[in-house]
Amino acid sequence: MTAGYRLIRPLLWLLKAESAHDLALWTLTRGLVPASGAPDDPVLAVDLWGRHFANPVGLAAGFDKDARAIGPVFGLGAGFVEVGSVTPRPQAGNPRPRLFRLSEDEAVINRMGFNNRGMAAMRERLTAWTAGGGPGVVGVNIGKNKDSKDAAADYRACTEGLADLAGYLVVNVSSPNTPGLRALQSRAALEGILGAVRRGLDAMAPDKRPPLLLKVAPDLTDSDKQDIAAVALDFPLDGLIVSNTTISRPAGLAAAHRAEAGGLSGRPLFAPSTALLGDFHDLTRGRVPLIGVGGIFSGADAYAKIRAGATLVQLYSALVYEGPGLIGRIKQDLAGLLRRDGYSRLQDAVGMDRV
Ligand SMILES: Cc1cc2nc3c(=O)[nH]c(=O)nc-3n(C[C@H](O)[C@H](O)[C@H](O)COP(=O)(O)O)c2cc1C
């Protein structure tokens, strides 16, 4: 943690978790958080899907649901930013309180419920970002409205409304806070949803179609994993994001809020989500690019995800605990670890623990 954040954190802790989040976003959009000026170490560069990532450390979905702070998040040193989840129509999400800090566990529980301003507002923001010539890859994470009867139609609508502005497109069927959403991870349901998204993409000029990724939950049975891996290989998908928050509550959680309903993220998610990442690397025989997310707090954590099979990584909860200087520290430490082990490019280290 930087000295600055050490001073500010107790003040943020006086606020409810969601108010602190809103303040953080506001501070970023007002340009009040100093940008990290340092250029990225070339060992961190990744070329994937015809896109260049100056470094592999991205901001996970849910922090900037409405694409309000893309530039400032790149300014913190992120190699890419994922906006959303966005739904076709705006929706308010679940009643507050719906976001909880588990300080003793360095974790977060959220049951936000896809609060967002809808795809038309997202389109405006992304259009402005693109028109301004903003650098870097911006992924768009899409979901369904809570009251929608036709999930496939919602995913298709978001595809048609946003895919041309997406650096990559993520079908999110793994948030625990939209009733029935995670059931869409079964093979039949996935094929229905992805088929609808594919038809949306097929209507676009081939050179405008973004890579298509699926974001999965950590709470999967072995047969769920096999089904998802088969879909990823057969469909084929361009990538999997492993993982979303967990509905499980690992033994040993100490914080008072541990029994709140919702998805758990942060430190306790690191081990299960990294094990799942390794499973998907093996089940897809290393052929499907993976983005590793869940409980990354350090360069060593990011490196462990890469060795388990991730080509890119993302984080969210650790920023709450460590502050905005974290991304720079992770990059610096990760570059050091790669060089220590004799790698001149990150991509050579992907999955090295699984061979
Ligand atoms: C408050 C909050 C909101 C989130 N909202 C979304 C979302 O809208 N869509 C999504 O795919 N993931 C969402 N996530 C999950 C994160 O993108 C990420 O997968 C998860 O938090 C694990 O990473 P972490 O341990 O670094 O936080 C959210 C997470 C948090 C904490």
Separation between Cα atoms, residue 289 and residue 175, nearest integer Å = 21
pLDDT tops 80 at residue 54: yes
pLDDT of residue 268: 98
pLDDT greater than 90 at residue 186: no
Q: Which atom of ligand 1 lies at the shortest distance from residue 82's CA? A: 17
Nearest Cα neighbor of 7 from 331, 325, 265 is 325
Confidence check: pLDDT of 338 > 90: yes
Let me know: does 308 contact 89? Beta carbons within 8 Å. Answer: no
The reply to whether 36 belongs to the active site is: no
pLDDT at residue 187, as a whole number: 87
Nearest CA to 172 out of 86, 295, 80, 268 is that of 86
- CA–centroid distance, 114 to ligand 1, in Å, is 11
pTM assigned to the model: 0.98
- List ligand 1's pocket residues with C-beta within 6 A: 60-62, 65, 84-85, 99, 108, 110, 112, 114, 141, 172, 175, 215, 244-245, 265-266, 269, 293-296, 315-318
User: Are the CB atoms for 140 and 163 separated by under 8 Å?
Assistant: yes
Distance 244 CA to ligand 1 centre (A): 6
211 pLDDT band (50/70/90 cuts)? very high
pLDDT tens digits along 156-182: 999 999 999 999 999 999 888 888 888
Selected catalytic residue, list 36, 85, 148, 175: 175
Measure 100 CA to ligand 1 centroid, in angstroms. 13
The angle, 0 to 180 degrees and rounded to 10, between the axes of the packed helices 222-234 and 187-202 is 20
How would you class 268 by CB atoms within 10 Å of its CB: exposed for 0-12, middle for 13-18, buried for 19 or more?
Answer: buried
Provide the angle, in degrees to the nearest 10, between the axes of the packed helices 151-162 and 187-202. Answer: 30
Condensed to tens digits (0 to 9), the pLDDT of residues 284-334 reads: 999 999 999 999 999 999 999 999 999 999 999 999 999 999 999 999 999
For ligand 1, atom 23, name the residue with the nearest CA. Answer: 294
Nearest residue (CA) to ligand 1, atom 26 = 315
Report the nearest-CA residue for atom 5 of ligand 1: 62
Q: What is the pLDDT of residue 37?
A: 73
